[in-house]
Amino acid sequence: MQESPKPMDRMESALQEEEANSMCPASFARALRISEAALAEVLGVALDTLQRRSGDPQIQERLKPFVSVLTHLLMLQSCAGLAAGHMKATPIRLLGNRTLLEVVRDGEAAKAMRYLQTLSSGQNG
C-alpha cells in the first residue's frame, strides 16, 4: 500500500511546479489558506482579472515573490498549515510588526527573504 503524500509535500511540489512554469493564483491562495478575493487584494488586482487572466505576465510577476517567500518558509517549517499561518498572521518585530505577507505586499520581499535566511542560520526572530 502506497503512503499518501503529506500536506507539506503536496504544497511544496505544487509550488515548485508552479514556480517553474506559470503559477496558479487559485492554488497559491489555497496553499496560503486565504480566499482568491484576499489574494487579489494583496496583489493589487481585481478579483475578476485574477480569475480570468491568471497567466498574465503582470499577475505572474506580482505573485512570484509571495511564492518564493512561502517556499523558503516551508524549508524552515515542516507543517504547511503553520507555515501558511506564520506568513499571513505572525507580526514580526524586526519587520516593523508586519507579517511576511504584508512585507511582500509592500514591495519588500528582499527584507522578508533576509529575515528567513537569518532564521535558517539559527538566529531568533
Output the DSSP codes for 61-82: HHHHHHHHHHHHHHHH-S-HHH
Instruction: Give the single-character DSSP code of 98.
Output: B
Q: What is the pLDDT along the chain (125 residues), one digit of tens a residue?
A: 444 445 455 555 555 445 456 789 999 999 999 999 999 999 999 999 999 998 899 999 999 999 999 999 999 988 889 999 999 999 999 999 999 999 999 999 999 999 999 988 775 54
Map out the domains of the chain as residue ranges. 7-120
